[in-house]
Structures are given as C-alpha cells and as structure tokens.
Amino acid sequence: MAIDVILRRRDDLRRILLEVATHAAAEDEIHRSVRALAGARWETIRNRPPHIGSLAVFMPSNNVLYSYVLYALIPALYTGSVTFRPSSRVEKVTEAVHRLLSEDPIMPNPFPVDMAPVSQRRFLSDCRTADAMVFCGRPENARSVSRAVGPATLLLTFGSGPNPVVVGPDADLSRVVPDLLSTRLYNSGQDCLSPDVIFVHRSLAGPLTERLDAALARLAAGERQDPRAEVSPLVYRDAVQGAAAFFAASPASDVVRGGGTDIATGWVEPTLLFREWDATFHPPEFFAPVFCVMEYESLRQVGDWLDSPEERGRGMYVSLYGMPAETGRLMGTSVVLRDRTTFDAEDGNRPFGGYGADASSVHASGRSHARPLLLSAELARRAV
C-alpha cells in the first residue's frame, strides 16, 4: 500500500522534500524508498524478527522520506506501535511526509506510526522502556541515550564516518571521477555517506586533481528546486560555518579551487583541496561540497591511518579503486568496498554501517557491540 501511495503522490512528496533536498536527491530518495518497501517482505522472511510491542525512533535530519520508510514503515510490519521523534531541524518537512502517508485513504486505519514532536529529553523519558529504540545522530548523544534506556530495551545507534575513497595506482580515473562527483555532491554534500577524504596514490595525484578541478569548473549551480542544478545552497547554517572554519584553518596553498562561503544564503562554493600525506589529519564531517584530496605513497599508510584510535572509533566504509584483490574485508573497522561507492553498497533491507562504535552500535542488557545494523536482523539475533 505504501508503495502505491508514494508513486501516486510522487509529485507532492518531491515538493515536500525539496525544502531540504536537491531535486536529484529527492528523486533518488523516492526511488530508494520504493525499493526498500518492495524488499520488506523478503527482509522479514529472511530474518524472521519476533513481533515486538513498541519501537521508539529518533529520526535523522536528512533523508526524511527514506528514514521514515526504514525506521517506521518497515518495522511496523512486526511492531505493535512505532513512535518517532523528528529532528527539530526538519520537523515541518517530516510532519508533512507523515501526514501525507498516514492520512491516505488506502493506508491502515488506525495507522501504526505516531509522531511525537517533543524534546529529546521528553521523548527519551516517555520511551525509555520501549522494546526497541533506534537513534540516529551524534555519537555523544547516542552514548547519553544508551545510558538512559531501560535494561530490556534493544537500542540501535547510527552515527557517521569519514567513508574515505582510496584511489590506487591502477585505478581508472574515467570511472573514479564520476563516482567521486556523484557521492560528494549528493544533496550538495549533505549526506553521511559522502567521502570526507580522498586518498590518491602519488602517481595519480596530478591527473586526479586536474580532472576534479575541471569537473568542478563545469558544475551547474542553482536552487534546490531546479532539476538542472548539480550544487545548491545548503540547508543548515552550521554546515556553512563548519566549512568556512575549515577553509580558514587550511593553508591557502591547499586550496585548488573554491573556498568561498556565504552564511546568509547558505552557499558553499564547490571546493577542491589538495594535501600532502599527513597521518595526523582526521577530517571533520563535511556536510558541504568539499573534495579533500590527500596524496599517499603506500597502502600501508592508509591502512595504519584507518587503524588509528581516532578512525577505529568511527569506521564505516572505505572505497578502494585500482587496488590488489588480496586486500581484506576490513581496513581498521571500515568495511571495504571494491570499485564502488557507499551509495552503491547501501541497501535498506540489509545491515548498514561499519564496525566503528560511533558509526553503528547495538546496545542491550548493559553490553554494546559495533557492527553493521538492521533492526529486523538484530531482533532476530536477540531472540535466539
């Protein structure tokens, strides 16, 4: 039923999502939502989660429709009641999506999903004894939530990671560059799956930088509603401020292109930076169109960087291009993707994330484990 509503009301949903997403990102989000709903029956048959009475969800501030599908609509198949708290940043957009789906005449009545637009503290107090809880947000907030929930509650926390791309000496740049553009510019960079650092072998550092520079020079800028726009003003003021602060702290010689920001309009110029190898550099999470390229000499340097304490805690994914096949399944705590992007790997009906505690963790009975997560799979695992 939900698929029918989404497809029939596609234009209305797109119009709602364009408040916080680019036209291309909104279209992609609708597509991913339909795909996940189509796979929901397969997911539940495969994992066989037990039926639970209640689920509480702290929704993220991006991917509003897709998150609603993943953390509310699909879990409603095996949950008595789902209650979610929207991120205050996108409360109106989330409410509009919820209203459109829940009030459609072909949807179940009563609808199994409720929205609670209250403070985080109030929501946690009201729902701390839910059978299961999903938290999407900052790691420090996730840790606070994990300390507050009841001992019987199964808690899944989703954060973020740097998701580096590693360009090896045998990489095909005609494939790498389009992949970098599509991932780093997804929703103008406002997505936790976008790569915050790009490691390139020194033999390809010059050619890669030149190709990226030329590609950024050709980008079409415009408002989010413009389907031709490849980059648009950002939604969140603090993302602009964060990018501006990073540019200001970077040596001028690192900036190949861009570096301009305008907090009033939300504009962050598509920016390309190039750095020589620095093992102490740990990029912030850019929610902006920032391409931070760093030259490396040996894969061991990258492996040691991913295995550092700073990166083990937030390990999510690492995309390798032009690398030897003997590279393992993990580098540090990051899941290795070969010649594909994080968006290629993401599947709403399969576990998501890496093995870094700040990226994805499950908490129950006073213990926690970091691993890729899917609610139906974790409920089934716990029931064994």
Count the residues in the chain.
384
pLDDT band at 365 (very low <50, low <70, confident <90, very high): confident
Name the strand (E) or helix (H) holding 57. strand 52-58
- CA distance to 9, 37, 59, 243, 370, per residue, from 5 (Å): 6, 12, 21, 38, 36
- What's the pLDDT score for residue 383? 67
How many CB atoms are located within 10 Å of the residue 96 CB?
18
CA torsion angle 328 330 335 336 (round to 10): -30
Position 125 confidence tier, pLDDT thresholds 50, 70, 90: very high
Q: Exposed/middle/buried for 222, CB within 10 Å: 0-12, 13-18, 19+?
A: middle
Task: Tell me the three state secondary structure of residue 364.
Answer: strand
Closest CA to 224 of 36, 4, 14, 8: 14
Decide if pLDDT at 325 tops 80: no
- The per-residue pLDDT for 327 is 75
Which 8-state DSSP code applies to residue 19? T
> Can you give the pLDDT at residue 126?
92
Show Cβ contacts of residue 134 under 8 Å, excluding neighbours closer than 6 positions: 55, 56, 57, 58, 71, 155, 156, 157, 158, 375
Residue 47 and residue 50: Cα distance in Å, rounded? 9
CATH classification (class only), 2-159+359-383? alpha beta
CA distances from 155 to 142, 288, 327 (A): 10, 30, 33
> What mean pLDDT comes out for the span 265-277?
98
Compute the distance between CA of residue 185 and CA of residue 193 in angstroms, rounded to an integer: 11
Average pLDDT over residues 322-339: 90
Q: Where are the domains of the chain?
A: 2-159+359-383, 165-345
In whole angstroms, what is the distance from residue 208 CA to residue 168 CA? 11
- Does the pLDDT at position 152 exceed 70? yes
SS (H, E, C) 126-192: HHCCCCEEEEECCHHHHHHHHHHCCCCCEEEEECCCCCCEEECCCCCHHHHHHHHHHHHCHHHHCCC
Q: pLDDT (tens digit, 9 = 90+) per residue, 44-73?
A: 999 999 999 999 999 999 999 999 999 999
Tokens found for residue 172? 């095909």
What is the per-residue pLDDT for 358?
96
List residues bridging with 373 in a β-sheet: 352
CB distance 354 to 334 below 8 Å = yes
Mean pLDDT of the chain: 96
pLDDT band, very low/low/confident/very high, at 384 (cuts 50, 70, 90): low
pTM (two decimals):
0.95
Angle at which helices 375-383 and 40-47 pack, to 10 degrees? Answer: 20
Q: Average of pLDDT values for 240-244?
A: 97
CATH number for the domain formed by residue range(s) 165-345: 3.40.309.10
Q: What is the pLDDT averaged over residues 283-309?
A: 97
Tokens in use for 162? Answer: 């740097």
Tell me the chain's radius of gyration from C-alpha atoms.
21
